[in-house]
Amino acid sequence: MNIFEELKARGLVFQTTDEEALEKALTEGSVAYYSGYDPTADSLHLGHLVPILVCRHLQLAGHKPFPLVGGATGLIGDPSFKDAERSLQTKETVDGWVEKIQGQLSRFLDFENGENKAVMTNNYDWFASISFIDFLRDVGKYFTVNYMMSKESVKKRIETGISYTEFAYQIMQGYDFYELNRAHNVTLQIGGSDQWGNMTAGTELLRRKADKTGHVITVPLITDSSGKKFGKSEGNAVWLDASKTSPYEMYQFWLNVMDEDAVRFLKIFTFLTLEEIEDIRVQFEAAPHERLAQKILAKEVVSLVHGEDAYNQALKITEQLFAGNIKGLSAEELKAGLSNVPNYAVQAKDDLTIVELLVAAGVVTSKRQAREDVQNGAIYINGDRVQDLDYTLSDKDKIDNELTVIRRGKKKYFVLTF
């Protein structure tokens, strides 16, 4: 199986230009390729991970990546399938985001070793020196308005309105392909399926301005088996930045994917061989309740994104919380594991009994319910059952002098902070 066949077998290819010519190029020699990422935030998210992994697969197969972070296009805004105009950011903001995203990309590709080591690029490096007149004369003349209007990303915005700024975005992305081809002989671009129009603008410019052929691979928009756009958790993106989505939260995200999706996601999001994934599939389908596929998926992706130590910590937090062993975790680990549970800030002047504290912290709604829960053994402080109605917190109940964990029943957690 050659690299193109493997990418297809993994479900990583949605659309290509001339497939036969592209496969021939990828199997007969080393291809220089790029994938672009606009800095629209200070971190990439799971939606960006798919084209990144395609880039890594290609590099492992001997091809040379030129990842691009759009310091220039990030100042403009891509209209692709957006309902309204993006808010323009300051150059200082965009520059800061560029730096962070470059740092994230550097974790997935090899920038150090071999003839096909990755080379980081930023399209601000060439756009900053081009005058508006030169750009119109040397690039704009190769694009007809009819051609630009035919792009789906533009057609969807015509009714609501699109500025010339965003209308011209596809020409800028097309010029990226031309410039990378001129400087580095890049002949392949990789991106999301929503980028097809912008990407083929690049192959068109290569053809018309340089009489060269460029190739495009789009990766599919990943959805779960219910059709929901993948990479969203509780309405929020799952970020690659650990300070925005902790390794524990990412671990839980993968651990909770539906059975129908787990094996498919192993093919898309991991570097396990297809033979290894098939073995996992057989074991998983024989005992789906053991969630083997989800556990391996969570391990592989968290280790890939954040490192093995972060995975081990996420696993430890998961196992200790499941066992109710609060004292086996540090305050930092508990903050990660219980980041989404209700919090109550205990004031220094508070001197509350457990009954009063349960009501004040919102664990229960009445003192009567609190008394019943305590007497019935449903209340735990840091994993220890408390049945004394007059119990009050002391320093020994403060983990790392920062927090106390209350559990009601088997699964309802509450965090007290000091």
384: number of Cβ within 10 Å: 12
Which residues in the chain show pLDDT less than 50?
none
pLDDT score for 128: 94
DSSP single-letter state for residue 58: H
Query: What residue type is assigned to position 349 of the chain?
Result: K
Residue at token pair 């792009």: 151
d(CA 201, CA 178): 10
Taking CA atoms, 202 is separated from 177, 215, 226, 240, in Å, by: 5, 9, 34, 28
d(CA 153, CA 172): 15
pLDDT score for 231: 65
pLDDT score for 163: 85
Full-model pTM: 0.87
- CB-hemisphere CA count at 13 Å for 328? 13
Phi/psi for 273 (5° steps) reads -70, 160
Longest Cα–Cα distance of the chain, Å, equals 85
Q: b/e for 95-124, b at 16 or more Cβ within 10 A?
A: bebbebbbebbeebbeeeeeebebbebbbb
**Residue 393 region by backbone torsions, left for phi larger than 0, else alpha for psi between -120 and 50, else beta:** beta
3 state SS for 87-149: CCCCHHHHHHHHHHHHHHHCCCCCCCCCCCCCCCEECHHHHCCCCHHHHHHHCHHHCCHHHHH
